[in-house]
A and B are shown apart, each in its own frame.
Chain A
Protein backbone atom coordinates (compact mmCIF):
# COMPACT_ATOMS: atom_id res chain seq x y z
CA UNK A 1 0.00 0.00 0.00
CA UNK A 2 1.53 3.27 -1.17
CA UNK A 3 1.03 6.58 0.61
CA UNK A 4 3.09 9.32 -1.12
CA UNK A 5 4.63 11.67 1.44
CA UNK A 6 4.01 14.85 -0.52
CA UNK A 7 0.21 14.54 -0.64
CA UNK A 8 -2.64 15.26 1.78
CA UNK A 9 -5.46 12.86 2.58
CA UNK A 10 -9.05 12.66 3.77
CA UNK A 11 -10.81 10.14 6.02
CA UNK A 12 -12.79 9.12 2.92
CA UNK A 13 -9.59 7.89 1.23
CA UNK A 14 -9.09 10.75 -1.21
CA UNK A 15 -5.68 12.29 -1.87
CA UNK A 16 -5.05 15.97 -2.63
CA UNK A 17 -2.05 17.48 -4.47
CA UNK A 18 -2.02 21.28 -4.09
CA UNK A 19 0.01 23.26 -6.64
CA UNK A 20 -0.56 27.01 -6.16
CA UNK A 21 -4.34 27.30 -5.93
CA UNK A 22 -5.12 24.19 -8.00
CA UNK A 23 -5.81 20.96 -6.14
CA UNK A 24 -5.72 17.62 -8.00
CA UNK A 25 -7.79 14.88 -6.38
CA UNK A 26 -8.02 11.12 -6.66
CA UNK A 27 -8.51 8.05 -4.48
CA UNK A 28 -5.70 6.35 -2.60
CA UNK A 29 -3.95 3.06 -3.31
CA UNK A 30 -5.71 1.60 -0.26
CA UNK A 31 -9.11 2.62 -1.65
CA UNK A 32 -8.49 1.21 -5.13
CA UNK A 33 -7.28 -2.05 -3.61
CA UNK A 34 -10.46 -2.38 -1.54
CA UNK A 35 -12.70 -1.53 -4.50
CA UNK A 36 -10.82 -3.75 -6.95
CA UNK A 37 -11.68 -3.63 -10.69
CA UNK A 38 -12.96 -0.10 -11.42
CA UNK A 39 -15.25 -0.35 -14.45
CA UNK A 40 -16.95 3.03 -14.55
CA UNK A 41 -16.41 6.54 -13.23
CA UNK A 42 -19.17 9.12 -13.00
CA UNK A 43 -17.08 12.26 -13.35
CA UNK A 44 -18.04 15.51 -11.57
CA UNK A 45 -19.76 18.43 -13.24
CA UNK A 46 -17.66 21.57 -13.60
CA UNK A 47 -18.49 24.48 -11.31
CA UNK A 48 -18.58 25.55 -7.68
CA UNK A 49 -18.49 22.91 -5.00
CA UNK A 50 -18.70 22.86 -1.21
CA UNK A 51 -16.34 20.75 0.87
CA UNK A 52 -17.78 17.34 1.80
CA UNK A 53 -20.44 17.28 -0.93
CA UNK A 54 -20.56 14.17 -3.15
CA UNK A 55 -19.11 14.99 -6.54
CA UNK A 56 -18.29 11.74 -8.30
CA UNK A 57 -18.89 7.99 -8.19
CA UNK A 58 -16.36 5.25 -8.75
CA UNK A 59 -18.02 1.96 -9.67
CA UNK A 60 -16.16 -1.29 -9.37
CA UNK A 61 -17.38 -4.82 -10.06
CA UNK A 62 -17.92 -5.18 -6.30
CA UNK A 63 -19.30 -1.82 -5.20
CA UNK A 64 -20.12 1.81 -5.95
CA UNK A 65 -18.18 4.39 -4.00
CA UNK A 66 -19.10 8.06 -3.61
CA UNK A 67 -16.26 10.58 -3.89
CA UNK A 68 -16.58 13.77 -1.87
CA UNK A 69 -15.00 17.20 -2.44
CA UNK A 70 -12.16 17.40 0.13
CA UNK A 71 -12.14 21.19 -0.07
CA UNK A 72 -14.36 23.99 -1.38
CA UNK A 73 -13.76 25.77 -4.64
CA UNK A 74 -14.52 25.43 -8.33
CA UNK A 75 -14.13 22.18 -10.25
CA UNK A 76 -12.25 23.31 -13.35
CA UNK A 77 -11.19 20.03 -14.97
CA UNK A 78 -12.05 16.32 -14.93
CA UNK A 79 -9.95 13.40 -16.18
CA UNK A 80 -11.79 12.34 -19.31
CA UNK A 81 -9.25 9.52 -19.91
CA UNK A 82 -11.17 7.66 -17.20
CA UNK A 83 -14.16 7.32 -19.54
CA UNK A 84 -12.28 4.99 -21.87
CA UNK A 85 -9.96 3.54 -19.24
CA UNK A 86 -11.47 3.59 -15.72
CA UNK A 87 -8.94 0.95 -14.62
CA UNK A 88 -6.27 3.68 -14.48
CA UNK A 89 -7.63 4.31 -10.98
CA UNK A 90 -6.43 0.81 -10.04
CA UNK A 91 -3.14 0.80 -11.93
CA UNK A 92 -2.01 4.40 -11.32
CA UNK A 93 -4.15 5.98 -8.57
CA UNK A 94 -1.84 8.93 -7.77
CA UNK A 95 -0.89 9.97 -11.31
CA UNK A 96 -2.82 9.15 -14.50
CA UNK A 97 -5.72 7.91 -12.32
CA UNK A 98 -6.47 11.44 -11.01
CA UNK A 99 -10.19 12.24 -11.07
CA UNK A 100 -10.74 16.02 -10.93
CA UNK A 101 -9.12 19.41 -10.25
CA UNK A 102 -10.43 22.20 -8.03
CA UNK A 103 -9.42 25.85 -7.97
CA UNK A 104 -9.49 26.22 -4.21
CA UNK A 105 -11.35 29.13 -2.65
CA UNK A 106 -8.73 29.37 0.10
CA UNK A 107 -5.45 27.38 0.01
CA UNK A 108 -5.23 27.15 3.82
CA UNK A 109 -8.09 24.62 3.73
CA UNK A 110 -5.26 22.14 3.12
CA UNK A 111 -4.43 22.45 6.82
CA UNK A 112 -7.67 20.65 7.67
CA UNK A 113 -6.51 17.55 5.77
CA UNK A 114 -4.37 14.66 7.02
CA UNK A 115 -0.72 14.27 6.14
CA UNK A 116 0.79 11.02 4.87
CA UNK A 117 1.76 9.82 8.34
CA UNK A 118 -1.73 10.35 9.79
CA UNK A 119 -3.40 8.64 6.82
CA UNK A 120 -1.02 5.68 7.03
CA UNK A 121 -1.86 5.44 10.72
CA UNK A 122 -5.57 5.49 9.94
CA UNK A 123 -5.50 2.64 7.44
CA UNK A 124 -2.97 0.42 9.17
Chain B
Protein backbone atom coordinates (compact mmCIF):
# COMPACT_ATOMS: atom_id res chain seq x y z
CA UNK B 1 0.00 0.00 0.00
CA UNK B 2 2.76 2.46 0.88
CA UNK B 3 5.49 3.42 -1.57
CA UNK B 4 8.91 5.10 -1.37
CA UNK B 5 9.13 8.44 0.43
CA UNK B 6 10.12 10.21 -2.78
CA UNK B 7 7.19 8.78 -4.77
CA UNK B 8 4.73 9.70 -2.02
CA UNK B 9 6.24 13.19 -1.79
CA UNK B 10 5.89 13.68 -5.56
CA UNK B 11 2.29 12.43 -5.52
CA UNK B 12 1.35 15.14 -3.00
CA UNK B 13 3.06 17.89 -4.99
CA UNK B 14 1.57 16.77 -8.32
CA UNK B 15 -1.73 15.11 -7.50
CA UNK B 16 -2.96 14.07 -4.04
CA UNK B 17 -1.94 12.05 -1.02
CA UNK B 18 -3.52 11.09 2.30
CA UNK B 19 -1.78 10.84 5.67
CA UNK B 20 -3.18 9.10 8.73
CA UNK B 21 -2.98 11.78 11.45
CA UNK B 22 -5.21 9.99 13.95
CA UNK B 23 -2.46 10.24 16.54
CA UNK B 24 -3.07 14.01 16.87
CA UNK B 25 -5.02 15.37 19.83
CA UNK B 26 -8.42 17.05 19.91
CA UNK B 27 -9.16 19.36 22.85
CA UNK B 28 -12.57 21.08 22.94
CA UNK B 29 -12.98 24.35 24.85
CA UNK B 30 -16.29 26.06 25.56
CA UNK B 31 -17.78 28.53 28.02
CA UNK B 32 -19.09 32.06 28.28
CA UNK B 33 -15.60 33.54 28.29
CA UNK B 34 -13.78 30.85 26.27
CA UNK B 35 -12.45 33.32 23.69
CA UNK B 36 -11.02 35.66 26.34
CA UNK B 37 -9.54 32.74 28.23
CA UNK B 38 -7.78 31.41 25.11
CA UNK B 39 -6.64 34.94 24.21
CA UNK B 40 -4.56 34.91 27.38
CA UNK B 41 -2.96 31.54 26.65
CA UNK B 42 -2.33 31.45 22.88
CA UNK B 43 -0.15 33.79 20.80
CA UNK B 44 -2.35 34.43 17.77
CA UNK B 45 -5.34 36.77 17.98
CA UNK B 46 -8.55 34.96 18.93
CA UNK B 47 -10.80 38.05 18.81
CA UNK B 48 -10.38 38.43 15.03
CA UNK B 49 -10.77 34.71 14.28
CA UNK B 50 -14.27 34.42 12.80
CA UNK B 51 -16.43 31.42 13.72
CA UNK B 52 -16.06 28.87 10.94
CA UNK B 53 -12.35 29.56 10.59
CA UNK B 54 -9.09 28.27 12.03
CA UNK B 55 -5.57 29.55 12.48
CA UNK B 56 -2.07 28.42 13.47
CA UNK B 57 -0.97 29.45 16.93
CA UNK B 58 1.39 28.66 19.82
CA UNK B 59 0.93 27.67 23.43
CA UNK B 60 3.85 29.21 25.33
CA UNK B 61 5.38 28.77 28.76
CA UNK B 62 6.24 31.73 31.04
CA UNK B 63 9.68 32.03 29.38
CA UNK B 64 8.09 32.48 25.96
CA UNK B 65 9.20 29.01 24.91
CA UNK B 66 6.93 26.73 22.90
CA UNK B 67 4.94 24.09 24.74
CA UNK B 68 3.06 23.21 21.56
CA UNK B 69 2.14 24.53 18.13
CA UNK B 70 -1.43 23.87 17.11
CA UNK B 71 -4.39 24.79 14.92
CA UNK B 72 -7.20 26.61 16.74
CA UNK B 73 -10.64 26.01 15.20
CA UNK B 74 -13.37 28.49 16.13
CA UNK B 75 -16.48 26.33 15.72
CA UNK B 76 -18.80 28.95 17.23
CA UNK B 77 -18.47 32.23 19.14
CA UNK B 78 -17.44 30.50 22.39
CA UNK B 79 -16.81 26.94 21.18
CA UNK B 80 -13.29 25.96 20.10
CA UNK B 81 -11.29 22.93 19.04
CA UNK B 82 -7.52 22.78 19.53
CA UNK B 83 -5.80 20.23 17.29
CA UNK B 84 -2.51 19.49 19.00
CA UNK B 85 0.59 17.35 18.52
CA UNK B 86 0.26 13.75 19.65
CA UNK B 87 3.32 13.87 21.90
CA UNK B 88 2.06 17.01 23.66
CA UNK B 89 -1.53 16.02 24.47
CA UNK B 90 -0.70 15.28 28.12
CA UNK B 91 1.38 18.43 28.63
CA UNK B 92 -1.19 20.64 26.89
CA UNK B 93 -4.05 19.29 29.00
CA UNK B 94 -1.97 19.74 32.16
CA UNK B 95 -0.97 23.31 31.25
CA UNK B 96 -4.49 24.36 30.23
CA UNK B 97 -5.88 22.62 33.31
CA UNK B 98 -3.49 24.60 35.53
CA UNK B 99 -4.84 27.83 34.04
CA UNK B 100 -8.49 26.80 34.00
CA UNK B 101 -11.03 29.43 35.02
CA UNK B 102 -14.59 29.21 36.28
CA UNK B 103 -17.04 28.67 33.48
CA UNK B 104 -14.54 27.10 31.08
CA UNK B 105 -15.06 23.50 29.99
CA UNK B 106 -12.01 21.67 28.64
CA UNK B 107 -12.62 18.25 27.10
CA UNK B 108 -9.89 15.94 25.83
CA UNK B 109 -11.56 13.87 23.10
CA UNK B 110 -8.31 12.71 21.48
CA UNK B 111 -9.06 9.00 21.75
CA UNK B 112 -12.46 9.41 20.08
CA UNK B 113 -11.37 11.15 16.89
CA UNK B 114 -9.51 9.80 13.88
CA UNK B 115 -7.82 12.19 11.45
CA UNK B 116 -6.73 12.16 7.82
CA UNK B 117 -4.74 14.87 6.06
CA UNK B 118 -5.54 15.05 2.34
CA UNK B 119 -3.02 17.19 0.46
CA UNK B 120 -2.31 18.07 -3.18
CA UNK B 121 -3.72 20.11 -6.07
CA UNK B 122 -6.58 17.66 -6.67
CA UNK B 123 -8.07 17.98 -3.20
CA UNK B 124 -10.96 20.44 -3.88
CA UNK B 125 -12.54 18.09 -6.43
CA UNK B 126 -11.83 15.10 -4.20
CA UNK B 127 -13.67 16.77 -1.32
CA UNK B 128 -16.70 17.43 -3.48
CA UNK B 129 -16.76 13.82 -4.67
CA UNK B 130 -16.42 12.11 -1.30
CA UNK B 131 -19.01 14.40 0.34
CA UNK B 132 -21.36 14.01 -2.62
CA UNK B 133 -21.44 17.65 -3.59
CA UNK B 134 -19.98 19.89 -0.89
CA UNK B 135 -17.58 22.68 -1.82
CA UNK B 136 -14.28 22.86 0.02
CA UNK B 137 -14.29 26.06 2.14
CA UNK B 138 -11.71 28.76 1.42
CA UNK B 139 -8.26 28.63 3.02
CA UNK B 140 -8.45 28.06 6.82
CA UNK B 141 -12.22 27.64 6.56
CA UNK B 142 -14.06 24.91 8.47
CA UNK B 143 -16.78 22.59 7.26
CA UNK B 144 -18.60 21.07 10.23
CA UNK B 145 -21.28 18.59 9.23
CA UNK B 146 -22.91 15.24 9.64
CA UNK B 147 -22.42 12.63 6.96
CA UNK B 148 -24.80 9.69 7.21
CA UNK B 149 -25.46 10.62 10.81
CA UNK B 150 -21.80 10.80 11.85
CA UNK B 151 -19.80 13.94 12.53
CA UNK B 152 -17.30 15.20 9.98
CA UNK B 153 -15.07 18.17 10.74
CA UNK B 154 -12.67 19.50 8.12
CA UNK B 155 -10.42 22.52 7.75
CA UNK B 156 -8.70 23.71 4.59
CA UNK B 157 -5.22 23.66 6.06
CA UNK B 158 -2.17 21.44 6.00
CA UNK B 159 1.47 20.81 6.69
CA UNK B 160 2.78 20.25 3.15
CA UNK B 161 2.57 23.58 1.33
CA UNK B 162 -0.03 22.20 -1.07
CA UNK B 163 -3.77 22.89 -1.13
CA UNK B 164 -5.62 20.40 1.04
CA UNK B 165 -7.66 19.73 4.11
CA UNK B 166 -7.43 17.94 7.42
CA UNK B 167 -10.41 15.75 8.18
CA UNK B 168 -11.51 14.58 11.63
CA UNK B 169 -14.21 11.99 12.22
CA UNK B 170 -15.31 9.54 14.93
CA UNK B 171 -12.77 6.72 15.08
CA UNK B 172 -15.22 4.18 13.69
CA UNK B 173 -15.65 6.24 10.48
CA UNK B 174 -11.91 6.33 9.72
CA UNK B 175 -11.94 3.32 7.40
CA UNK B 176 -14.97 4.69 5.54
CA UNK B 177 -13.20 7.94 4.70
CA UNK B 178 -9.86 6.22 4.02
CA UNK B 179 -11.53 3.89 1.52
CA UNK B 180 -13.50 6.74 -0.08
CA UNK B 181 -10.24 8.65 -0.63
CA UNK B 182 -8.33 5.67 -2.02
CA UNK B 183 -11.25 4.95 -4.36
CA UNK B 184 -10.68 8.45 -5.76
CA UNK B 185 -7.06 7.62 -6.49
CA UNK B 186 -5.57 9.49 -3.53
CA UNK B 187 -2.16 8.00 -2.71
CA UNK B 188 -1.52 6.66 0.82
CA UNK B 189 1.48 8.53 2.25
CA UNK B 190 3.51 7.95 5.37
CA UNK B 191 5.16 10.22 7.90
CA UNK B 192 8.50 10.10 6.03
CA UNK B 193 6.95 11.99 3.12
CA UNK B 194 5.09 14.23 5.57
CA UNK B 195 8.48 15.26 6.96
CA UNK B 196 10.16 15.91 3.60
CA UNK B 197 7.14 17.93 2.40
CA UNK B 198 7.01 20.16 5.49
CA UNK B 199 10.80 20.58 5.51
CA UNK B 200 10.76 21.90 1.92
CA UNK B 201 8.30 24.55 3.20
CA UNK B 202 10.40 25.29 6.32
CA UNK B 203 7.39 24.42 8.49
CA UNK B 204 8.69 23.74 11.99
CA UNK B 205 8.47 20.44 13.77
CA UNK B 206 7.70 20.64 17.48
CA UNK B 207 10.36 18.88 19.50
CA UNK B 208 13.01 19.60 16.85
CA UNK B 209 12.70 23.16 15.47
CA UNK B 210 10.39 24.29 18.25
CA UNK B 211 11.04 23.62 21.92
CA UNK B 212 10.29 25.00 25.39
CA UNK B 213 13.58 26.92 25.28
CA UNK B 214 13.00 28.67 21.94
CA UNK B 215 10.50 31.45 21.31
CA UNK B 216 8.41 31.75 18.13
CA UNK B 217 10.37 34.95 17.33
CA UNK B 218 13.64 33.02 17.31
CA UNK B 219 11.95 30.50 15.02
CA UNK B 220 11.03 33.32 12.63
CA UNK B 221 7.30 32.78 13.23
CA UNK B 222 6.36 36.22 14.63
CA UNK B 223 3.56 36.36 12.04
CA UNK B 224 1.55 34.09 14.37
CA UNK B 225 2.25 36.16 17.48
CA UNK B 226 -0.08 39.13 18.09
CA UNK B 227 2.02 41.17 20.50
CA UNK B 228 -0.41 44.10 20.28
CA UNK B 229 -3.41 42.18 21.57
CA UNK B 230 -2.67 42.49 25.26
CA UNK B 231 -1.03 40.12 27.71
CA UNK B 232 -0.80 36.39 27.20
CA UNK B 233 1.47 33.81 28.82
CA UNK B 234 4.96 34.51 27.49
CA UNK B 235 4.13 37.93 26.00
CA UNK B 236 6.42 39.87 28.36
CA UNK B 237 9.48 37.91 27.23
CA UNK B 238 8.50 38.17 23.58
CA UNK B 239 7.93 41.93 23.76
CA UNK B 240 11.42 42.35 25.19
CA UNK B 241 12.85 40.08 22.52
CA UNK B 242 11.08 41.99 19.76
CA UNK B 243 12.49 45.28 21.11
CA UNK B 244 16.05 44.02 21.54
CA UNK B 245 16.16 41.62 18.61
CA UNK B 246 16.85 37.89 18.79
CA UNK B 247 20.44 36.68 19.11
CA UNK B 248 19.76 33.44 17.21
CA UNK B 249 17.28 32.70 14.48
CA UNK B 250 16.09 29.49 12.81
CA UNK B 251 17.67 29.63 9.36
CA UNK B 252 17.32 27.59 6.19
CA UNK B 253 20.46 25.88 4.88
CA UNK B 254 20.94 24.27 1.50
CA UNK B 255 23.89 22.04 0.60
CA UNK B 256 25.99 23.31 -2.30
CA UNK B 257 27.10 19.87 -3.42
CA UNK B 258 25.82 16.36 -3.80
CA UNK B 259 26.40 14.58 -0.53
CA UNK B 260 24.78 12.30 1.99
CA UNK B 261 21.58 13.88 3.37
CA UNK B 262 22.04 16.31 6.29
CA UNK B 263 20.26 15.04 9.39
CA UNK B 264 19.17 16.50 12.76
CA UNK B 265 22.08 16.84 15.17
CA UNK B 266 24.78 17.32 12.52
CA UNK B 267 27.14 20.22 13.37
CA UNK B 268 27.09 23.54 11.51
CA UNK B 269 30.51 25.17 11.22
CA UNK B 270 31.69 28.57 10.01
CA UNK B 271 34.27 29.02 7.24
CA UNK B 272 37.09 28.62 9.77
CA UNK B 273 35.66 25.32 10.97
CA UNK B 274 34.39 26.67 14.31
CA UNK B 275 31.19 25.02 15.48
CA UNK B 276 28.19 27.37 15.43
CA UNK B 277 25.23 25.11 16.08
CA UNK B 278 23.62 21.80 15.19
CA UNK B 279 20.86 21.04 12.72
CA UNK B 280 17.36 20.84 14.21
CA UNK B 281 15.97 19.34 11.00
CA UNK B 282 17.55 17.97 7.86
CA UNK B 283 16.94 15.73 4.91
CA UNK B 284 16.90 15.25 1.19
CA UNK B 285 14.58 17.50 -0.83
CA UNK B 286 12.97 15.52 -3.66
CA UNK B 287 11.87 18.71 -5.41
CA UNK B 288 15.25 20.44 -5.21
CA UNK B 289 17.37 17.30 -5.52
CA UNK B 290 19.64 18.63 -2.76
CA UNK B 291 20.10 18.32 0.96
CA UNK B 292 18.21 20.90 3.04
CA UNK B 293 18.26 21.69 6.73
CA UNK B 294 17.24 24.06 9.51
CA UNK B 295 19.40 25.33 12.36
CA UNK B 296 19.37 28.13 14.95
CA UNK B 297 22.34 30.32 14.03
CA UNK B 298 23.78 33.51 15.57
CA UNK B 299 22.42 36.52 13.66
CA UNK B 300 25.61 38.52 14.12
CA UNK B 301 27.70 35.85 12.38
CA UNK B 302 25.30 34.38 9.82
CA UNK B 303 23.00 36.09 7.31
CA UNK B 304 21.41 35.29 3.97
CA UNK B 305 24.03 33.88 1.65
CA UNK B 306 26.67 33.30 4.35
CA UNK B 307 28.69 30.21 3.45
CA UNK B 308 28.89 27.57 6.18
CA UNK B 309 29.84 23.93 6.49
CA UNK B 310 27.60 21.12 7.62
CA UNK B 311 29.49 18.13 8.98
CA UNK B 312 27.93 15.12 7.34
CA UNK B 313 29.28 11.78 8.60
CA UNK B 314 32.71 13.28 9.29
CA UNK B 315 32.96 15.28 6.06
CA UNK B 316 32.63 19.07 5.86
CA UNK B 317 30.06 19.79 3.15
CA UNK B 318 29.66 23.37 1.97
CA UNK B 319 26.23 24.92 2.38
CA UNK B 320 24.66 28.36 2.42
CA UNK B 321 21.84 30.20 4.15
CA UNK B 322 18.91 30.59 1.78
CA UNK B 323 15.51 32.25 1.86
CA UNK B 324 12.53 30.39 3.24
CA UNK B 325 10.78 28.36 1.96
CA UNK B 326 13.11 26.02 0.06
CA UNK B 327 10.33 25.08 -2.32
CA UNK B 328 8.05 27.46 -4.20
CA UNK B 329 5.44 26.47 -6.74
Contacts and interface: CB of A to CB of B under 8 A. Distances in A.
Given A37-B4, A90-B4, A61 B261 contact: yes
A40 B285 CA distance: 13
Contacts, number: 34
B258 interface: yes
B260 A42 contact: yes
A59 B317 CA distance: 15
Given A57-B313, A61-B192, A40 B261 contact: yes
B197 to A, nearest CB: 12
Contacts of A46: none
A57 B263 CA distance: 15
Contact of B5 (A40, A62, A64): A62
A36 interface: yes
Interface size band for B: 10 to 19
Contact of B6 (A57, A61, A83): A61
A59 B263 CA distance: 11
Contacts of A62: 5, 192
Contacts of B6: 37, 61
A31 interface: no
B258 A64 contact: no
A40 B255 CA distance: 13
Nearest to A61: B5
Contacts of A36: 4-5, 192
A57 B260 CA distance: 9
B153 interface: no
B137 interface: no
A59 B4 contact: no
A39 interface: yes
B158 interface: no
B5 A37 contact: yes
Interface string B254-298: 000011110000000000000000000001100000000000000
B283 A64 contact: no
Nearest to A35: B4
A64 B283 CA distance: 12
B284 A39 contact: yes
Contacts of A59: 260-261
Contacts of B196: 61
A64 B4 contact: no
Interface residues of A, number: 12
B313 A64 contact: yes
Contacts of A83: 258
B304 to A, nearest CB: 26
A62 B283 CA distance: 9
Q: Which of B4, B259, B283, B313 has the most CB of A within 10 A?
A: B4
Contacts of A40: 258-261
A36 B193 CA distance: 12
B284 A61 contact: yes
Nearest to B263: A64
Nearest to B193: A61
B209 to A, nearest CB: 19
Interface in A36-84: 36-37, 39-40, 42, 57, 59, 61-62, 64, 83
Contacts of B261: 39-40, 59, 61
Nearest to A62: B192
A64 B192 contact: no
Interface of B: 4-6, 192, 196, 258-261, 283-284, 313
28 contacts: A36-B4, A36-B192, A37-B4, A37-B6, A37-B284, A39-B260, A39-B284, A40-B258, A40-B259, A40-B260, A40-B261, A42-B260, A42-B313, A57-B313, A59-B260, A59-B261, A61-B4, A61-B5, A61-B6, A61-B196, A61-B261, A61-B283, A61-B284, A62-B5, A62-B192, A64-B260, A64-B313, A90-B4
Interface of A: 36-37, 39-40, 42, 57, 59, 61-62, 64, 83, 90
Given A36-B192, A61-B6, 7 more contacts: A36-B5, A37-B4, A39-B260, A42-B260, A42-B313, A61-B283, A64-B313
| The 7 A-B residue pairs with the shortest CB-CB distance in the complex, in nearest-first order | A59-B260, A37-B6, A61-B5, A40-B260, A36-B4, A39-B284, A37-B4
